[in-house]
């Protein structure tokens, strides 16, 4: 190595104290001006890297991430609450109607055919829209899962 210049990697290893040929490189550096200047440049570069300020965001990353996570959890839990509320209010309306008319057969007799058709049409339309929405959401989730 005294005749051959050490490689850049070997000089860097010497500067960073990560070489097992420390004595040989040191010996070469005292004799070779070219490699000594190289070593000095690497020393300055490494010192400059160490003196760099630590890269940091100017906002609180953990707070932002945590707020996103809690929002996602809240969004996920809300449909269950809405379905529960709708089911409860539906049950209350049905039982109040049954109580008022005194039984299911009396409702059929009291309400006109036109009203029954209206209720039937609205119910079918709601079911169609719900199943369309469900299949669309299912399809988009399956597309998200499809990585190929
Ligand atoms: Zn040299």
What's the CA-to-centroid distance between 51 and ligand 1, angstroms?
28
What's the CA-to-centroid distance between 46 and ligand 1, angstroms?
20
What's the CA-to-centroid distance between 22 and ligand 1, angstroms?
14
pLDDT, residue 1, reads: 45
What's the CA-to-centroid distance between 52 and ligand 1, angstroms?
30
- For the chain, residues with pLDDT lower than 70 are 1-3, 71-78, 104, 106-108, 147-148
pLDDT, residue 69, reads: 78
127-147 burial code (b ≥16 CB/10 A, e <16) = eeeeeeeeeeeeeeeeeeeee
């Amino acid at each position: 190595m005294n005749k051959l210049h050490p490689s850049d990697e070997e000089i860097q290893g010497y500067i960073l104290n990560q070489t097992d040929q420390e004595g040989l490189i040191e010996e070469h550096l005292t004799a070779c001006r070219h490699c000594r200047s190289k070593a000095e440049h690497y020393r300055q570069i490494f010192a400059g890297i160490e003196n760099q300020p630590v890269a940091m965001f100017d906002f609180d990353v953990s707070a932002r991430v945590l707020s996103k996570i809690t929002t996602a959890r809240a969004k996920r839990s809300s449909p269950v609450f809405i379905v529960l509320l709708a089911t409860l209010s539906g049950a209350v309306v049905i039982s109040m109607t049954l109580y008022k008319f005194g039984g299911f057969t009396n409702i059929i007799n009291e309400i006109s055919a036109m009203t029954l058709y209206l209720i039937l049409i609205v119910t079918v339309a709601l079911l169609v829209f719900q199943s369309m929405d469900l299949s669309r959401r299912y399809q988009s989730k399956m597309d998200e899962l499809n990585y190929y």
